[in-house]
Structure 1
Amino acid sequence: MDVQLRELIPFLRDRNPQVRQIALSHLLPQTPPGSPHRNIFFKTGGLKTAAKETDIIRDLKLLCRDQLNIAHDAFRALVNLSDSPLLVASLSEPSFLVFIASYIIHPQSILADLASMLLSNLTATSAACSIVLSLDVSIIPIQSSSTPGFYATQSRCGTSPAPTPYPEGEPRDVRALSLLLDAFATGVQTGDDPTKKLRKADLHFLASVFANLSVATAGRTFFLTPRPANFLKQKPEDGDDEELEYPLAKILPFTEHKDTIRRGGVASTIKNCAFHAPGHRAILSPDSERVSVPPSTISAPGIDALPYLLLPLSGPEEFDLEDQEKLPEALQFLPPTKTREPDSKLRLMHVETLLLLCHTRWGRDFLRDTGVYEIVRAAHVAEGVDKISEHIERLVALLKGDEHAPAGAEARALAEAEAEAEEVTIEDASLGAPAGAKIAVGGIGGAGAGASGGSEKVEEKKLEEKGKEEEEEDDEDSRIEEV
């Protein structure tokens, strides 16, 4: 059977699109992991040739630019094959990643969801992450108010038509990650009418991409570095500081989105950023305050992440008026229909993020003053998973400890609570969804992925970076350590 399948490979380059389609349709079922003849997609001959690009992989990359049916199957094939370390180098080639990023950000790209799945799988490797974090794409700004604000020049292909008329002006290079963030935020349907969608795709799997990128220090730095709200500006001009924003703030509203992939990836990204101790003040501060992340002195409105961390943990419980006043405005007087996050792994992730934010004195004080205890106390009563309950108990011990008490029983109790919390291992979350399985779009049927799809972890590493010392009023200092 291998011989017959290999004979189909040259037909992927045939001039007749029907021939290309037939050849690809017979090869596609062999791309999922575990397929009996999957070896035909890998170069034989040992380690010397294993890392080289095979003819069939090169053909599949080119077919992603073909007409709809062919490009659809080509994307599906690469999504399925992208779990192999032998193909990562070829699929992470900068020119191909530029095409993928450009294709995703163009609103008219029909298969942008499949491209997002592919990028999610690729960024599960550190090599692809480093390339994506520094990747630039070429765009042409569009002045007309009836069309998007730019056109990605390298997105043009059979399933991503160029705008008519073609925009005038000189192309300029812009950070790909800024454009992907904007596409992710604007790709959500805001009503029941699908005809009013701004984009052809939902782009939920970009949340997995952000989660993978934020595992790396450079990724966290990106999300916690103020950038122009108008991403077409390369850097703020004099007097334009008020237009800066933290990139992390753009994805926060999706912690309660109906799609598990989207809200799971966002929760993972927030948690990864919470590993960066100097960024805690920016993460928690309201957007009415301007704050910087040391060692940078550039300030921007606070990210105000706390309401988005607490809403998934909140239920329909009613609180006393005194306790209600402590809560962020978004959590006051929630309706009786309010439900908690149904996925236990995402609930655990939010509690772990709160634990990480407790590892500076300023963070603990802020959480105490904003009603976190009241929310997690009610969540603990309703929680049915032992591991989450244990994490909530450690969180409560940190929040209720008396930090100003003299050396005595209460001070010792706080020290014991901190020591107990430090015994918990919180790992970087590089998953865009709870189950953490590789996306496999197999078979001959339509493309798709399970609700628990995503990308595997970039790395299983513990927290290595200690929190930098902060000067507090009482000279008290805590560090983010492995908790």
Structure 2
Amino acid sequence: MESQLRELLPFLHDRNPNVRLIALQNLLGHTEQGAAHRSIFFSDATVQRDLKILCRDQAAVAHDAFRALVNLSDAPQLANTLGERDFLAFLCSYIIHPSSVLADLAAMVLSNLSAFPKPCATLLTLEIPIVHDDALKPPYYAPYSRSGTSIAPDTLASLETVNTRALPLLLDAFVDAAKVEGAERTRKGDLHFLASVFANLSAPRRPTGNPLEYPLAKLVAYTEHTDMIRRGGVISTLKNCAFHAPAHRAMLSPESERVAGAPGIDALPYLLLPLAGPEEFDLDDQEKMPSALQFLPSTKTREADPALRLMLVESLLLLCTKRWGREFLRAHGVYEVIKVAHLAETDDNIAEHIERLVNLLKRDEPPGVQEADEEDVLEGTKDDEIEEV
């Protein structure tokens, strides 16, 4: 069987598109994880190159090529080959172009690749050429996106390209793709899997500097999005950022305050809303809470997925690492919200994490103490055993 499959590989670069399609259709099932002959795609650099090229082919061929790479891009053996700068530039350019028909598949490939160190590091600094044109929506075009399933604009005001960082463009596309169907929506893909890309890029010990606008500020609004992949990726991103204690002030500060030159992210309401239900609070308690948490409707429901609820509580725990964070959470009604969430919680593990959070928020602060040990807070050391420095 393996020898027969290898005989199909040269047809992936046949001049006849029908031949390319038939060969790809017969190979596609063998790209899946656990397939008996999946290894044929690991040892042949030519087939890896062909699959990347076929992503630019006509629709049927490109669709199966992207699907094959979605299956293969989780393999460490291919991370460096598929994560080459030129291919990442194509993926990013393709994803940000609104007319790209297969943008969601491209986002899945990028999501898998961003889990590996080298492609992740490349993405953080990647620049792609774009052409500015105010007549377009968005007002630029990425020439590297040009392919059989991503048609270029009919006319461009200029052919001059400017190298631009890919990450802010991906963020803008992610936000734009969340628009509901209507007259203003021209984008073909939903791009939910970009949330996983941002989660991977925001993993600990990958600093991105101090921008004029924190990229995280564009993501926080999606912690209650209807699509689980999108909201799960954003919640994971928030938790990853919360591991970096120096970022807590920027994460919690309101937009009206500037932290390191950029407006605050105001992430707290978006961490609490998925944990909040329809319960009513006393007016005194309501006044402590962020405005988004006040007077919630009787139809308000909590996050249904226990894994996401746990990540939200863990994020709040991490934000308690420093005394400033604990005092901020106390002053903004976190205890009041989390106390009611504890009564409604059915998962024992999450309930234990909530109890740990309550202990941190309700205890008295010894004079002069500023920080708790991050590992102890996250790992669940009893409150009276936390060493402060």
Distance 2:82 2:375 in 1: 41
Q: CA deviation at 1:12?
A: 1.3
Note if 1:217 corresponds to 2:208. Answer: no
* Partner of residue 450, structure 1: none
Distance 1:131 1:421 in 2: 29
Distance 2:11 2:277 in 1: 58
* Partner of residue 80, structure 1: 71
Higher helix share: 2
Task: Label 1:419 to 1:141 Cα distance change in 2 as closer, same or farther (>3 A).
Answer: closer
Alignment of 1:114-193 (within 5 A): 114-144=105-135, 147-191=137-181, 193=182
**What are the superposed Cα offsets for residues 42-100 of structure 1, whole Å, 9 maximum, x if unpaired?**
22xxxxxxxxx521111111100000000000000011011222111110111111111
Distance 2:273 2:223 in 1: 8
What SS is found at the alignment partner of 2:296? coil
Task: Label 1:307 to 1:420 Cα distance change in 2 as closer, same or farther (>3 A).
Answer: closer
Note if 1:56 corresponds to 2:47. Answer: yes
Distance 1:420 1:85 in 2: 31
Q: CA deviation at 1:36?
A: 2.2
What SS is found at the alignment partner of 2:379? coil
* Partner of residue 12, structure 2: 12
Note if 1:267 corresponds to 2:235. Answer: yes
Distance 2:373 2:321 in 1: 11
Task: Tell me the number of residue pairs that the alignment of Structure 1 and Structure 2 aligns.
Answer: 383
Distance 1:478 1:272 in 2: 22
Match of 2:319 among 349, 357, 372: 357
What SS is found at the alignment partner of 1:83? coil
Alignment of 1:304-315 (within 5 A): 304-315=266-277
Q: CA deviation at 1:404?
A: 5.6
Q: Give the TM-score, by structure 2 length.
A: 0.94
Distance 2:242 2:204 in 1: 13
* Partner of residue 111, structure 1: 102
Misfit runs of 4+, over 3 Å? 418-421
RCO (CA 8 Å, sep 6+): is it higher in 1 or 2? 1
Task: Label 1:419 to 1:38 Cα distance change in 2 as closer, same or farther (>3 A).
Answer: closer
Give unmatched runs, 5+ long, in structure 2: 381-386
Q: Is the 8 A contact 2:177 2:191 kept in 1?
A: yes
Distance 1:9 1:169 in 2: 37
Question: What is the identity percentage for the equivalent residue pairs of Structure 1 and Structure 2?
Answer: 60
Alignment of 1:80-479 (within 5 A): 80-144=71-135, 147-191=137-181, 193=182, 196-218=184-206, 220-222=207-209, 225-227=210-212, 245-292=213-260, 299-403=261-365, 422=376, 424-425=378-379
Q: CA deviation at 1:142?
A: 0.8
Task: Label 1:170 to 1:280 Cα distance change in 2 as closer, same or farther (>3 A).
Answer: same
Q: CA deviation at 1:425?
A: 2.7
Distance 1:154 1:32 in 2: 28
Task: Label 1:421 to 1:91 Cα distance change in 2 as closer, same or farther (>3 A).
Answer: closer
Equivalent residue letter for 1:336: S
Give unmatched runs, 5+ long, in structure 1: 44-52, 228-244, 293-298, 427-476
Q: CA deviation at 1:169?
A: 4.4
Task: Label 1:246 to 1:42 Cα distance change in 2 as closer, same or farther (>3 A).
Answer: closer
Distance 1:60 1:419 in 2: 48
Q: Is the 8 A contact 2:133 2:156 kept in 1?
A: no
Q: Give the TM-score, by structure 1 length.
A: 0.76
Q: Is the 8 A contact 1:106 1:155 kept in 2?
A: yes
Q: Is the 8 A contact 2:317 2:378 kept in 1?
A: no
Equivalent residue letter for 1:173: N
Task: Label 1:160 to 1:421 Cα distance change in 2 as closer, same or farther (>3 A).
Answer: closer
Q: CA deviation at 1:167?
A: 3.7
Q: Is the 8 A contact 2:99 2:150 kept in 1?
A: yes
Distance 2:354 2:40 in 1: 50
